[in-house]
A = this chain, B = another copy of it.
Amino acid sequence: MNVTRIFIVDDHPMIIEGMAAMIQREPGIELAGFAMNAASCLAYFVNNTVDVVLMDINLPDKSGIDLCRELKEKHPSINILAISSFNQGTYVKSMMEQGASGYIFKNVTREEFVEAVTTVASGKQYLNFEAGFAMREEKQRMERLPVLTRREKEVLHLIAEGLTNIQIADKLFVSQSTIDSHRKSLLAKLGVKNTAALMKFCVENGLIRL
């Protein structure tokens, strides 16, 4: 059996050291290199390749989601294992959609970590328990959330800015009645009865970013 060569992309020296230490004790795995941002990661892969890339979601210069897509486009044979501190299902879902082969949280044990790396290296998928759970949660959340139309989202964001219906109407060059209607649909669709509850619901469900 061949040695699995891996590459780490993470901007935390501690994490790089930690992963390196975990890997060092595994005979079948070898650390080929590391990068602390997306740019130098891409630079590395111009002239090199590896079996598995361990990729943090939060990089200083680019989101891990974008980097994942780019890397997969140029080097489809590389298997990407995403690593994140946050158990936000939306990240898990996005990364897997962008071609990642696995997703683990930073609180995994050494055993689980090694298992994840070897599984991904063999071309299979690996999600640790929490990641899988978070992704299923996210999918269910997306399904049971009512679909807002383009205009409704637009109005929603302007409401969140503190504009009144008249001001919104003015901004979108439509009549007040129109905004009135959109606002009514928003309340009806999301099942709330006033502006405060609307705001709360939307912030909690990621319909509004702060």
Residues on A facing B (Cβ under 8 Å):
11-22, 85, 106-110, 113, 159-164, 192-200, 203-204, 210
17 sampled A-B residue pairs with Cβ under 8 A:
A12-B107, A13-B107, A13-B108, A13-B113, A14-B22, A17-B21, A18-B18, A20-B21, A85-B85, A159-B196, A160-B200, A162-B196, A162-B197, A196-B196, A199-B200, A200-B210, A203-B203
Assess the B11–A200 pair: CB atoms within 8 A.
no
Known: A160-B196, A161-B200. A17 touches B22 (CB 8 A): yes
A164: chain B residues within 8 A (beta carbon): 194
Interface pair A14/B113, CB less than 8 Å apart: yes
Residue of B whose beta carbon sits closest to that of A193: B162
Looking at the assembled complex, report how far the CB atom of A27 sits from the nearest CB atom of chain B, in whole angstroms: 18
Report, nearest first, the 10 A-B pairs whose CB atoms are least far apart. A162-B197, A18-B18, A14-B18, A199-B199, A17-B18, A17-B21, A195-B195, A21-B21, A12-B107, A12-B106
Would A15 and B106 be within 8 Å (CB), given that A20-B21, A210-B204 are in contact? Answer: yes
A203 cross-chain contacts in B, Cβ below 8 A: 199, 203, 210
In the assembled complex, the Cα of A18 lies from the Cα of B12 at a distance in Å of: 10
Q: Check B107 against A11 for contact (C-beta < 8 Å).
A: yes
Residues on B with C-beta less than 8 A from A204 are 210
Cβ B14 vs Cβ A197 within 8 A: no
Name which residue of chain B comes closest to A10, CB basis. Answer: B107
How many whole Å from A127's CB to the nearest CB in chain B?
18
Known contacts A12-B107, A161-B197; 12 further A-B pairs (Cβ under 8 A): A13-B22, A14-B22, A15-B106, A160-B196, A160-B199, A160-B200, A162-B192, A162-B193, A162-B200, A164-B194, A194-B195, A195-B199
Distance (whole angstroms) from the CB of A115 to the closest CB of chain B: 13
Residues of chain B lying within 8 A (CB to CB) of residue A161: 196-197, 200
